[in-house]
Amino acid sequence: MSEGNRMTDRTIRTVDDVLRLLDGLFAPEADRWTAGGAAWWDDFYTDRSQPVPFFADKPDENLVAYLDRRGDGPGRALDLGCGPGRNALHLAARGWEVDAVDLSPVAIAWAEERAREAGADVRFHRGDAFALAGTELTGPYDLVYDSGCFHHLPPHRRVSYLALLDDVLAPGGHFGLTCFAAGGMGSEEPDAALYRQSRLHGGLAYTPGSLRWIFSDLEEVELRRMRDEPPGSACFGEPFLHTALFARPRPAGHARPGPPAVPGGPDDRPPAPAVTDG
Ligand SMILES: C[S@@+](CC[C@H](N)C(=O)[O-])C[C@H]1O[C@@H](n2cnc3c(N)ncnc32)[C@H](O)[C@@H]1O
């Protein structure tokens, strides 16, 4: 090969090349977000008798509250990192057309088993949501829902996450999230320190301010701590998590009324008192 055509160790040309390089800065055992992390999750889901709160087949309390107050009827939903499928199954039971994706074949097998038992119709996809977006996961979705996947991503994969939302979330659609709350659970190390340590410490904690900033292209509908649901409740709820609901703005000229304001949410607060000099 002539010197002019020889490949070198120069591996970065595109944003995807940068993202893959940054993936590789983390220790292999820290990986919970690429195809290489599937084995870790498979192992995690193999023993179903573990006392893991989200192993119970109950939907998130905030998802149920959103569906209860939603003005529009059911639409198309995507459950990102669906695990054993508890939220996807609830959406299907309420008439939604649901795609649900997870890295872990063991989680998907468990979710499919639950769907068969419930007679629920959910399209499950095994694999990396970022790789499947635009091929198997085409959208547009009226709801993209994520319970516990986002906080396992390294900081640079927020770029992929926002691109995924941009690709698949319908204008006027909603994005619902539950993730570790700073002060509740998860690592509060700054982003740069995580790369120096090559670890994610089991998941990242987020403040309300960080979530607002990261998802600032969307409109905030609600952002609060998750309610603490007692063991006998029909819903899942743990106060060490934040729940957030955002709406994707419609293009100018296509405005339609959104869902009713969340009690105490940003659209339901009394106007701030006027600031006067002296
Ligand atoms: C904490 S579990 C939550 C499972 C489920 N949402 C629940 O609440 O019951 C996080 C899930 O995200 C999945 N996950 C992480 N990265 C992913 C990716 N890039 N694509 C698809 N799934 C992913 C994992 O396999 C894991 O099942």
Ligand 1 centre distance from Cα of residue 55 (Å): 12
Is residue 31 classed as helix, strand or coil in its secondary structure? coil
Measure the CA–CA gap between 167 and 185, rounded to whole angstroms: 30
143 with 173: CB under 8 angstroms? Answer: yes
Atom number in ligand 1 closest to CA 45 = 27
Is residue 209 classed as helix, strand or coil in its secondary structure? helix
Q: In testing the pocket of ligand 1, which one of 54, 60, 99, 102 has its CB within 8 Å of the most ligand atoms?
A: 102
Distances (CA, A) of 179 to 32, 33, 90, 151: 15, 15, 19, 6
Dump pLDDT digits (tens) for 105-119: 999 999 999 999 999
Dump pLDDT digits (tens) for 16-61: 999 999 999 999 999 999 999 999 999 999 999 999 999 999 999 9
Measure the CA–CA gap between 90 and 246, rounded to whole angstroms: 20
Dump pLDDT digits (tens) for 122-144: 999 999 999 999 999 999 999 99
List, in sequence order, every residue forming a beta bridge with 144; answer none if it has no partner: 78, 175
Quote the radius of gyration of the chain (alpha carbons, Å): 20
Ligand 1 centre distance from Cα of residue 250 (Å): 29
Dump pLDDT digits (tens) for 9-22: 899 999 999 999 99
Its pTM surpasses 0.85: yes
Residue 8 is predicted with a pLDDT of 75
Q: Could you tell me the domains of the chain?
A: 15-47+57-247 (3.40.50.150)
pLDDT greater than 70 at residue 102: yes
Mean pLDDT along residues 260-271: 45
